[in-house]
Amino acid sequence: MKMHGLGNDFVVLDGRAREFDVTPALARAIADRHRGVGFDQLALIEARGAGDAHLTFYNSDGSTSAACGNATRCIARFLMDETGRDSLTLTTDRGTLYGRDMGDGITSVNMGAPQLLWNEIPLAEEMDTLELPIEGVPTATGMGNPHCTFFVPDAEAIPLAEFGPRYEHHPLYPERTNVQVASVIGPDHLRMRVWERGVGLTLASGSSSCATAVAAARRGLTGRRVTIDLDGGRLQIDWRDDGVWMTGGTSHVFDGVLTAAFLDSAR
């Protein structure tokens, strides 16, 4: 299936009926927008774990990620439509996540509690995660994957194609990091752009939105419930006692079949 959340696009493989061996080479081949299908992340649905399904995520460079918020929301929408239910439980390498149907095609997912300690994110050494010793004093947050959020006067003015890779590979982040630039529009409103680890520029990112909302609240820039405007659209983020809830729309674009010849060429 090809899906997207605010233009953050995914290929979703339904492995509940048959097993898939997703290698880094296969992920990269499917990700190729000229010779494959193209995606920001690939997600594999499997019938294992304690929840309704288990999700595994791959970046377009073939690396894995424990979390992918927009893909989780897309798949939650698909599974709720399939079963007629209005809530479900999904397991990931990030942990157990919960999805809810909010009506009118809107889906909400609890992305879990943010990781705020240096060794949870992780960072290379012990430090205060609220203001990192990096030019621009960004905030570090973990959402099952690492994030580095810069608060700037104008997110539109940052040359993110140059800025993002510089910090994705910063030595303070041993597993690389997602990079966000965000501007405060109001006490409950942010404008954010994102450079995703292992992917590059994307129109939206769910986990990045959650991390940015948490960072803004920790720094006293906003409350814990905010609207975030991304290049691809708008998300609602609510940092509650039980986790960070992300709410927004999703799109299921088409279903397809990968040919045997393509799969053989990608081995």
Which parts are annotated binding residues for substrate?
A: 8, 41, 59, 69-70, 145, 178, 196-197, 206-207
Query: Among residues 68, 74, 148, 210, which one is catalytic?
Result: 68
68 is known as an active-site residue: yes
| Rounded alpha-carbon distances, angstroms, from residue 227 to 122, 208, 235, 248 | 27, 13, 6, 10
Residues of each annotated binding site: 8, 41, 59, 69-70, 145, 178, 196-197, 206-207
In Å, how far are 5, 31, 206, 252 from 11, measured between CA atoms?
12, 8, 16, 10
Q: Are 179 and 162 in contact (CB under 8 A)?
A: no
Q: Are 215 and 149 in contact (CB under 8 A)?
A: yes
Contact 183, 151 (CB under 8 A): yes
**Spatial distance between the Cα atoms of 248 and 80, rounded to a whole number of angstroms:** 15
Lookup: tokens for 233:
């659209």
Residues recognised as catalytic: 68
